[in-house]
Structure 1
């Protein structure tokens, strides 16, 4: 009994502190190209059983917003990784920013973890294997009880320790812990949101595909739309639109594969 009380005391103490986890995130946006891998650093900020997962540039942008700045402008809709979690309530929400509006997409898919007895060292942490299905993909995770937080990158959480490494079985997406920062700050600049579902998400993505440079809106407002290439020569905006649409079709390998959009 003393051991249980002692362990609970440590867990409560850890959860009451602010702590940040830096992950290296890799994604293969074109599943047919082995070398088409995009890499970026993302941060999981955790305090009092609530967390925010976002890329480092998003965190910097949110800080600017809180100080009455404009923040970061995002063009697309797909593969935004901004996730808010309430671990106590087991609530997971995905936040998407499109044309200056923050959209809130509740994640209702349940993670049913199957914990294996297999263990290995991940960095300096003794870790244990677990698997679950999410977004039409099978995920292999490694968690450690040495970091007693039932959380992890992106939507992944619910294991008896922090997820230090996770990737899908197709090796198209991976998240790997690279740094732990105690006393990190956590703040939310995206509290005014419009709630949507996956159907509305698809509608937004198709709207972007059809008009990636938001030309129609600008024309309706009486604004002149021009595009200047790297050589300083003005180009037909419709040419750039077709180039962007081609890129979207080639990189149509979303992390939620079961919500892949058919643009044609």
Structure 2
């Protein structure tokens, strides 16, 4: 596990409530390929009991959009980690961006934590073990009261301190805190949303699977795909490749909402 980069003294937390907590994230989109691991950086921006958790690329895209530009966003609806929390209201919302539209998916599943007596030091922080169930997975978290924020990566929150390490028992997903920045930049450009539920989420995902390159909206036009070598192919061929990838990479973090595309 990477050691936490300490940029703050403990006393600093008494004077500021605005931080960015940076997590090294690893996950497997195909649980049958244990060595095929995706990795990246995700950021929890926190201010006064509100937070946004997102991939670093999503934050960059949001920043560009904030300045009237066009950011880069994922094509499909799965494997998006964008979560907004209002801890004072116990409100958690997952934002799905699809075809330039932001959809709001409320997370209503409650976290029932079991705090154990097991303790260890992670980096320079004394941490304690807690367990919970979410999304059809069992999760093990390590939190520290030395960082007095009842928050953590993705939808996870509600412990007596910040979650600095989190992993499911299948070893498919892990989040480990690697850096803390004082005075983090919390901004939200995804406020105009359409509210959906998990059933509508599945509809969107299947719509993308059936037409990943949005061909139906381009009827009457010649649609081709050009690969990095300059070779052109019919877009329907590329769509079949994309569908194959979706079928093979179907290991969502909410395993209880895994979509049967067949």
TM-score by length of 1: 0.93
**Secondary structure in 1 matching 2:88:** coil
Aligned counterpart, 1:252: 250
- Give the 5 Å matches for 1:170-185: 170-185=170-185
Aligned counterpart, 1:39: 39
Aligned counterpart, 1:104: 104
- Give the 5 Å matches for 1:216-235: 216-219=216-219, 222-235=220-233
Q: Give the drift of 1:238.
A: 1.4
Aligned counterpart, 2:135: 135
Inter-partner Cα distance in structure 2 for 1:20 and 1:73: 21
Inter-partner Cα distance in structure 2 for 1:226 and 1:239: 9
Aligned counterpart, 2:167: 167
Q: What stretches of structure 1 of length at least 5 have no aligned partner?
A: 1-9
Q: Which moved more, 1:93-102 or 1:210-219?
A: 210-219
Structure 1's consecutive aligned runs of 4 or more residues displaced over 2 angstroms after TM superposition are 10-14
Aligned counterpart, 1:69: 69
Inter-partner Cα distance in structure 2 for 1:236 and 1:73: 24
Q: Give the drift of 1:74.
A: 2.1
- Give the 5 Å matches for 1:41-60: 41-60=41-60
Inter-partner Cα distance in structure 2 for 1:238 and 1:192: 33
Give the length in aligned residue pairs. 252
Inter-partner Cα distance in structure 1 for 2:74 and 2:248: 19
Inter-partner Cα distance in structure 1 for 2:213 and 2:130: 42
Aligned counterpart, 2:6: none
The answer to whether the 8 Å contact 1:30/1:252 transfers is yes
Q: Give the drift of 1:72.
A: 1.6
* CA gap 1:205/1:33 in 2 versus in 1, 3 angstroms: same
Q: Give the drift of 1:228.
A: 1.1
Aligned counterpart, 2:123: 123
Q: Give the drift of 1:17.
A: 2.2
Once the two structures are superposed, residues 61-87 of structure 1 have per-residue CA deviations (whole angstroms, 9 ceiling, x without a partner) of 101111111112321110100000001
Aligned counterpart, 1:188: 188
Aligned counterpart, 1:241: 239
The answer to whether the 8 Å contact 2:226/2:233 transfers is yes
Q: Give the drift of 1:13.
A: 4.1
**Secondary structure in 2 matching 1:240:** helix
Inter-partner Cα distance in structure 2 for 1:233 and 1:133: 48
Inter-partner Cα distance in structure 2 for 1:122 and 1:224: 56
TM-score by length of 2: 0.93
Once the two structures are superposed, residues 148-174 of structure 1 have per-residue CA deviations (whole angstroms, 9 ceiling, x without a partner) of 000000000000000000000000000
Inter-partner Cα distance in structure 1 for 2:12 and 2:83: 23
Q: Give the drift of 1:37.
A: 0.5
Q: Give the drift of 1:224.
A: 3.2
